[in-house]
A and B are shown apart, each in its own frame.
Chain A
Amino acid sequence: MEPDGDVVYVIWQLRPQRQCAEAELVGTVSYARMLPWLLAAVALAAVVLMAPLLGRHLFEVFDGRPQPAWDRWLNPIEDALLRWIGDAGRSAESAAGYLAPLLISNALFALPPLGLLLLQPGWLNPQGFGGLRWDLALHTTISFLTNADQQHLIPEQSLGNLAQLGAMQFLMFVSAGTGLAVGFAVIRGLSGRQIGNFHCDLLRSLTRVLIPGSLLLALFLLVCGVPMTLAPPLEISTLDGGRQLLPRGPIALFEAIKQLGENGGGFVGANSAHPYENPTLLTNLVSTWAMLIIPAATIDAFGRFVGNRRQSNLLLALVFGLLLIGAVVAMAAEQAGNPVLSSWLSGPNLQGKEVRFGAPLTGLWSVVTTGTMTGAVNGMIDATMPPTILITLFNLFLQVVFGGQGTGVAYLLVFVLLAVFLTGLMVGRTPEFLGRKVEKAQVVWASLILLIHPVFVLIPAALTLAGGDTLAGISNPGPHGISQVVYEYASAAANNGSGLEGLGDNTPWWNLTTSLSLLGGRYLPIAALLALADGIRRKPALEPSPGTLRTDTALFTGVTAVVLVILGALTFFPVLALGPIAEALTLVA
């Protein structure tokens, strides 16, 4: 035992759920049953309250507004860095002008981590892990580069601290920064501004949002007991006399950017179910909040960009509504437990769940993590009830229930655009969004985005399933196996990273095909989004008249929600029906 490496952490343990059965019998509302709902409400309310504050900050940062005194000192540093890479800081003239540095820089970002994973030198590598197999290294690099953080490995058993910091954590920061940059480039285009400069946006998203945010969150996590050390694993002797290695590491900062940047890749395989990553109910709550806050603030910032907060508030209400529906369905399903077992086991199904958080909060986390494309888990999604899996899959298909860092709001706006186009014709005018006409070019780009997901989810899933069990590596027969495979590709294409684990996915087939889905689901939509926004930017803005379809009304927000659900549902309804819906119906029957 090394006293210096000892980290104190507290576990606020929830009272075991089993007790609630008695409480029910006497007809009183059980405290244990109510608590998760209260906690969920607190986390979501905190998002709602703080989104406008961060939204204003994002607006000031990305619209080049004067900065508050406390981060004005960053200006000369950023300017010097830009000069150093030879960028004059001017806005790109076209979508290609924004996309090119994005692709080049992302390719450059990927190379050192790839090398690091392949070689894994001994430095900062206390357990002396060797290099990863090439396909696993490639997949891991790509999945972290694309902000998905899909992990086909167990990090604490294969990665040293150097790889964790230099490869994983580095990519978490730059991929989240890239996402934010794209999000704001699209927002700028839609609001008629110049599309911006990628280097500048990336730099600012790091210096003004992600790094300070992560540091603050890391500090909080540290206080709550998350380790932050470069010390080697703790060797302890267990009660039965055995020896156990307790790996630890610089987890607090890693955890912070993992949640805040919607990355989701765990420092340890168990991810946020592990007490080192997510020790207490409080950290669980704050981590849930951290996944939602930046995307929610981005939507708020969008309203400030277009000078119409009503519009952004309605959009926030829309995604929040979808999130709430999902959360209620999942939490209720988890609280109810497995109907097959209910005759002799009352209460939730605790398989694959942390008793610290309880089943309902695992349901909430699963909905939030798939909605926001974080992909971190505080329990096994694989072990959740079919309704929860249905919601998580649906979230992955829609990609807008807050969605990815930066890209989520862009997808949302694309769906608004499609809603405008589909229903806008019904008011007898060429559809307009934010005063600009939606014409062929916009529809082409928006449609391309619609097409990407089926191509990178359904086709590889069908190929994998057609290849038989050896290829698929599914651990469950029947509908659940279908869910596992489809989920894996949906998670890759949506850049989420979570999985219905149990899938034997560390094979060249899985590593390479999901890499393809990861890349296709990341860069093709980004290119299409930028082209779409740049096309809109060039159109003249029209003053609204009584004949203009207003998008900032409750009616239109409702229309958008229906279009969203219908377009998302229609495409994936067959696989949803054969996967979670069939599973749920079998359980009930």
Chain B
Amino acid sequence: MTSSTRVLFPRMPRGPRHDRRYLERPRQQGLVQRAVTEAFRKLDPRLAVANPVMFVVWCGTVLCLALTLDPRLLDAQAGARERGFNALISLTLLATLLFANFAEALAEGRGKAQADALRRTQARTQARRQMPDGSIELVDSSVLRKGDVVLVQGGDVIPADGEVTAGVASVDESAITGESAPVLKEAGSDVAGSVTGGTRILSDQLTLRISADPGKGFIDRMIALVEGAERSKTPNEIALTVLLAVLTQVFLIAVVTLPPVADVLGQAPSVVTLVALLVALIPTTIGGLLSAIGIAGMDRVAQFNVIATSGRAVEACGDINTLVLDKTGTITLGNRLAEEFMPVGGHTTAELAEVALAASCFDQTPEGRSIVRLAEKFGAALPFTAEQATGIEFSARTRMSGTDTPDGIEFRKGAVDAIKGFVRSRTGTVPAELDACFEKVSRLGGTPLAVCRGNEVVGVIYLKDIIKPGIRERFDQLRRMGIRTVMLTGDNPITAGVIAREAGVDDFIAEATPEDKIAVIQQEQKLGKLVAMTGDGSNDAPALAQANVGVAMNSGTQAAKEAANMVDLDSDPTKLIDIVTIGKQLLITRGALTTFSIANDIAKYFAILPALFAGVGLEALNVMRLASPQSAILSAMVFNALIIPALVPLALKGVQFRPMSADQLLRRNLLVYGAGGVVAPFIGIKVIDLAIGALRLI
């Protein structure tokens, strides 16, 4: 691959996804050890209070421990024999707390390990700062401020994020992307003009203008994010926390008001059994796993080599209604290739090949180079010496490019309309077949490029667009999830229509300008929809900021990366679809475990209530035929504790998401987590009760 292609597509991921290299994976062994220590450290009440549900458990544990030490603390009549039972309940409560802490620590651990790896790249370096008078001084990288100008040479670590102001050099960015192939950086280019602190320059020299103050750079942000230092709860998580807290309060009232009511019947349930009832009823399962689910969701996004600026953004992905996608690079393979020459107006193919070559000899884009290759296949040669000619760059306004020869011949190629206008302005005529060729190519889903020599249209080049394999299936999946896809392309409406149909997108905007992008987003948002988009150029920045979820390519400009709320280190636009799935998975996991947790309460009631009030004739409610009141309460508590670690893998991996309609998803998940949540504890508690009986614990 030539270097110029790498400049334009410096981070095109190669090969199937599973072959790509990711960030250094932390080792599982260390993670578990760290999580165990963290689980104990999180028992600190100052940390525990952050989770209202688990804090109630924490308080209950302390109370039960106190009653284990002195069973007569609150009730003078209590027998010392209750100490053993109190101790067992205290232990299960403690285990419940530790399991919940462990789940959270395990989820955090992966991010922490990743952050450590990133931090290693941040070792302080010396930087050569250029003073305003042009002199160079050696300074520590930590004193560099935004706007400083530094020089870096082959072998240096780039001291901070910056924009290249001069020079061309290859840079190894594997520290952040895991991709070992060097990337070419040069001044003045949109996509290759920014460098990231912590990466290493391999050869040559660059002059940089620093664009981030210390601690505010890209890597710093990444560290903060993967580490969860800036982890704020997502809107959904907050809403769920509120509901769980209120349910906890409701159960607290239900349990606290029980003793005077029971007293009427001459029943006096002990404090420990009441604590057990309360802990069994409050939604500890989801309460203990809630934060782990959120952290794990972020981590899953990170495993896809995407850095999300907030959990909110990941969650918003699940809610996306509309995806705005660029055609090139997302729906079609990045490079359109010249496929065929179609001469018009009595010209021959050889003639057209020569003119096409002449018009493309300065064109360094992959398309331009493919035209040159095709022309050379037809044996065409330049009718002038390249050194003396001037290249005319493509611009969005003229929508054509070409070459002016020293003898005043203008070779142009470009959009058919543009060329027509050009020819007419040179008092030429447009042959009638041109439109037919235009249509023919467009209907094939290709891009027609008209070619002219002076005021004479010579023919049309058929640029073939290749739709990415498998993209249609992905759009079908999205449609089943209720997500609309809109394709944006600079192509003419016919071509765009053909590609849109083939790729299976729902809507397309042809001949789109960057302004159209933001207009489409605003229009969708006005209908109350959440819009996601990908972008890389600096002119995408406003649209990325406008979109509810903006994914910037790591190969993109600094402006785009800052405006976006996610950065894809692999620069693979189709990844947005994966992120949407992760966002949905996150929400489903939360909902499923909440449903499971609440459904569990039914069985727990049937275990604990008859045990609590054995003397009032509630024996008939003991449907599980548990051995004894104490064994019943202990079994329910042990089940309550064990269900947390049992569900940790599910919380960390997320409930499997299958693209299907909401009704189907609801039916399936209700069956698994709703009905399952009702039935599982009946079985679990009974089994534990049998085990307790067999072990003669009570």
Contact = CB atoms under 8 A, between A and B. Distances in A.
Contact of B238 (A440, A442, A458, A588): A440
Contact of A478 (B264, B318, B484, B667): B264
A547 B666 contact: no
Interface in A541-589: 541-543, 545-550, 553, 555-556, 559, 562, 566, 570-575, 577-578, 581-582, 585-586, 588-589
Given A450-B250, A549-B662, A428 B595 contact: no
Interface stretch (B125-133, B134-142, B585-593): B585-593
Contacts of A443: 239-240, 242-243
A442 B618 CA distance: 38
A74 interface: no
B260 A540 contact: no
Interface stretch (A169-177, A276-284, A416-424): A416-424
Q: Main SS of chain B's interface residues? A: helix
A430 B319 contact: yes
A380 B594 CA distance: 41
B609 A447 contact: no
Interface in B561-588: 583-585, 587-588
A465 B260 contact: yes
Contact of B605 (A447, A459, A477, A573): A573
Contact of B621 (A450, A454, A581): A581
A461 interface: yes
Nearest to B598: A566
Given A421-B239, A458-B257, A573-B609, A428 B584 contact: yes
Contact of B662 (A430, A479, A548): A548
B251 A581 contact: no
A435 B3 CA distance: 51
A7 interface: no
Contact of B261 (A442, A539, A570, A575): A575
A454 B253 contact: yes
Interface string A455-488: 1001101110110000000000111011000100
A428 B482 CA distance: 11
Contacts of A477: 264
Interface of B: 235-236, 238-240, 242-243, 245-247, 249-251, 253-265, 267, 277, 281, 315, 318-319, 321, 479-484, 527-529, 583-585, 587-588, 590-592, 594-595, 598-599, 601-602, 605, 609, 613, 616-621, 657, 661-663, 665-667, 669-670, 673-674
Contact of B484 (A423, A545, A562): A545
Contact of B483 (A430, A461, A547, A577): A547
A458 B254 contact: yes
A578 B613 contact: yes
Contacts of A459: 253, 257
B261 A566 contact: no
B482 A547 contact: yes
A447 B482 contact: no
A431 B245 CA distance: 19
B253 A586 contact: no
Contacts of B236: 425, 430, 439
Q: Which of A438, A444, A446, A462 has the most CB of B within 10 A?
A: A462
B235 A542 contact: no
A564 to B, nearest CB: 13
Contacts of B484: 545
A462 B598 CA distance: 25
A427 interface: yes
A447 B674 CA distance: 21
A423 B240 CA distance: 12
B528 A540 contact: yes
19 contacts: A421-B239, A422-B595, A428-B585, A439-B235, A439-B236, A443-B243, A458-B253, A459-B257, A463-B260, A478-B264, A539-B528, A540-B527, A546-B482, A546-B662, A555-B663, A573-B605, A581-B618, A585-B621, A589-B617
Contact of A426 (B239, B259, B261, B673): B673
B595 A426 contact: yes
Interface residues of A, number: 69
A574 B609 contact: yes
A589 B240 CA distance: 43
Interface string A393-435: 0000000000000000000000000100111111111100001
A232 B238 CA distance: 63
A427 B239 contact: no
Contact of A465 (B243, B264, B527): B264
B260 A425 contact: no
B617 A426 contact: no
A454 B246 CA distance: 11
Contacts of A435: 528
Given A422-B243, A430-B319, A482-B261, 9 more contacts: A423-B591, A423-B669, A426-B592, A465-B263, A466-B260, A542-B528, A545-B484, A546-B481, A582-B613
B246 A570 contact: no
B240 to A, nearest CB: 8
Contacts of A440: 235, 238-239, 242
A451 interface: yes
Contacts of B251: 570-571
B675 to A, nearest CB: 10
A581 B613 CA distance: 12
Contacts of B621: 577, 581, 585
